[in-house]
Structure 1
Amino acid sequence: MDEAGIDGQRALVRRVLAAGLGLGQDRPTRLDLKITAAAVEEMRAAFRLFAPFRGTPKVTVFGSARTQSHDPLWRGAEEAAAGLAELGWMVVTGAGPGIMEAAATGAGPERSLGVSIRLPFEESPHAVGSGDAHRVAMKYFFTRKLMLVKESSGFICLPGGFGTMDETFELLTLQQTGKMDPAPIVLLDRPGGTFWRGFARFVTEELAGSGLIAVNDLDRVLVTDSVPAAVAEISGFWRNYDSLRWVGERLVLRLRRAPGDGELAELNERFSGICASGRIEAAEALPEERDDRDRLELPRLVLTPRRRAVGDLYRLIRALGELPSAPSEARPAPPAG
């Protein structure tokens, strides 16, 4: 590390090196080593792709590679991406044809990033934003999906096949289990389309109806055929909410504007079921936050939520953006990652 000039995050770099040496000592198969080496190399390439744009909020757009330019879905993806780009967002796609190309076209080459997958039978990555500075190619779906999710503060899914459904279900799983920080998810259809309504019916009737998920697990997702509604959902989610942090069992929500006493009382009445104990309270930065100098300038709400109250948390975040005291204008999200 000294010879390479590594002078930051040395403990974590040491863990990476130690894991590599340990893997060699485990006498793995050649295939095990090839998978590990390629995955680490791909993650490094993706991290370098996103690094220059770390301060810019990003939205990932998923959808079919087979959608044609005359399809209303193409126009919807293009218009949604253009609307968010105008609000200061960058658009991340899988860098393929179809919906991915439509979204990149809407955002423009300077505001789009692509994470493509190398497949033996698919078309080459689209031309929009395909310069080396804005695109990276990957061999493995799991590393690609990591980067399509990790860097973004909002997600728009348009109809697609197995790949799109895989990406959509992964988003919903990360959201349901709390493995992803809260972020808006929009399922956007063509005007009058039934794709996502049919999906929602399956989730409600079959998954929730069979007791496999909670009945309200899809409530925190917006299903719409309106591009303006999709753009408003992505940007409006961040109107007042800034970020969160767990401190033991307590959850700290950092805001742009603190609610008034009357608004806080109304929130406690409306969301009385979210707390495992106590109430939602206005608070100063907790000692652990002060130690880390973690967004100390922002007002805060602190609560001890029920561990499975993910849906209520999303509704609370949206309610904070609808308060009379909230900022009047939506703004881009804080950058993810």
Structure 2
Amino acid sequence: MRNGYNEGRPRLSKDGSTTDQRLLDNRGQPGWTHSDPWRVLKIQAEFVEGFNDLADLGPAISVFGSARTPSTSPDYELAAKVGSALAQAGFAVITGGGPGAMEAANRGAIEAGGASVGLGIELPWEDRLNDYVNLPLHFRYFFVRKTMFVKYSQGYIVMPGGVGTLDELFEAMTLVQTQKITRFPIVLMGVRHWQGLIDWMRGTMQADGRIGPHDLDMLTLTDDIDEAVALMVRAREERQP
């Protein structure tokens, strides 16, 4: 099943700026004291819509990864297998709804008969979700979208990616470290891609005392899909009353 082109997506302004950009612009544009309170209502509406649409989703795992991963890449194939394995284990798969690794994970989930969620974000270079989403949501505000990832996921699987992928990874680590969310499994899928980051964090950040000795314990580095899914299943069982 494909969702095709979803007309509910946010639209850029005529000058090409995003909603977040206009909200966070502090250059003293005329009338900002009058317009910002109204933006609160838009933000509220996005939260309400997201909470309403995802309330009955059930156990879900968020899969992150690069939008630039080509469909011919082994990483694309790996993400598709991850999405399929999660769906077969009874999880909905949540991604950012974009191309690349996100598309692959959604594709694997939907082809395995699972729920495939895409949390799209307003971007200048993307105007649609990928074709393998059967529950599409569109957001203007990054922080609202991030809340949905955290609130409705029982774990994260992080595929090779760039800056956006790192942002999601480190936000999750920060929220777990500061006990803002209940601890859940975070899997780094792709040893070759992630090993250097782990080595640097251990050899520099931890060695200099900037992270604690157990902070890296929240991460699991693997190439094994079965291991990753088993961690998610175990976490689901531990959450059940």
1:242 paired with 2:235, answer no
For residue 115 of structure 1, report the CA deviation from its aligned partner.
0.8
**Structure 1, gaps ≥5 residues long:** 1-26, 244-294, 296-337
Listed as ranges, the matches of 1:110-125 within 5 Å are 110-122=114-126, 124-125=128-129
C-alpha separation between the residues in 1 aligned to 2:100 and 2:42?
27
Which residue matches 1:42? 46
Which residue type is aligned with residue 49 of structure 1?
A: D
Alignment CA distance shift 1:121-1:242 (3 Å): closer
Misfit runs of 4+, over 3 Å = none
C-alpha separation between the residues in 1 aligned to 2:59 and 2:81?
18
Which residue type is aligned with residue 210 of structure 1?
A: D
RMSD over aligned Cα, in angstroms?
Answer: 1.9
Which residue type is aligned with residue 221 of structure 1?
A: L
Listed as ranges, the matches of 1:22-33 within 5 Å are 29-33=33-37
Which residue matches 1:158? 159
Higher share in strand: 1
Which residue matches 1:97? 99
C-alpha separation between the residues in 2 aligned to 1:92 and 1:34?
30
Counting matched residue pairs gives: 209
For residue 237 of structure 1, report the CA deviation from its aligned partner.
3.1
1:174 paired with 2:175, answer yes
For residue 71 of structure 1, report the CA deviation from its aligned partner.
1.1
Which residue matches 2:138? 137
Which has the larger displacement, 94-103 or 228-237?
A: 228-237
Give the TM-score normalised by the residue count of structure 2.
0.81
C-alpha separation between the residues in 2 aligned to 1:176 and 1:110?
31
Q: 2:130 aligns with which of 126, 132, 149?
A: 126
- Is residue 110–residue 129 contact of structure 1 (8 Å, CA) maintained in 2? no
Q: Deviations over 1:296-319 (max 9, x none)?
A: xxxxxxxxxxxxxxxxxxxxxxxx
Alignment CA distance shift 1:100-1:48 (3 Å): same
C-alpha separation between the residues in 1 aligned to 2:160 and 2:38?
34
**Structure 2, gaps ≥5 residues long:** 1-30
Which residue matches 2:86? 84
For residue 236 of structure 1, report the CA deviation from its aligned partner.
2.6
C-alpha separation between the residues in 1 aligned to 2:74 and 2:34?
47
C-alpha separation between the residues in 2 aligned to 1:78 and 1:123?
22
- Is residue 43–residue 144 contact of structure 2 (8 Å, CA) maintained in 1? yes
Query: Match of 1:61, SS?
Result: strand
C-alpha separation between the residues in 2 aligned to 1:216 and 1:194?
23
For residue 103 of structure 1, report the CA deviation from its aligned partner.
0.6
Q: Larger relative CO (CA 8 A, sep 6+): 1 or 2?
A: 2
Query: Match of 2:81, SS?
Result: helix
- Is residue 115–residue 135 contact of structure 1 (8 Å, CA) maintained in 2? yes
Q: Deviations over 1:96-149 (max 9, x none)?
A: 11111111101107511111001012352101125xxx1111111111111011
Give the TM-score normalised by the residue count of structure 1.
0.59
C-alpha separation between the residues in 2 aligned to 1:205 and 1:114?
36
Q: Deviations over 1:62-110 (max 9, x none)?
A: 1111101111111111111111111111001111111111111011075
Which residue type is aligned with residue 216 of structure 2?
A: L
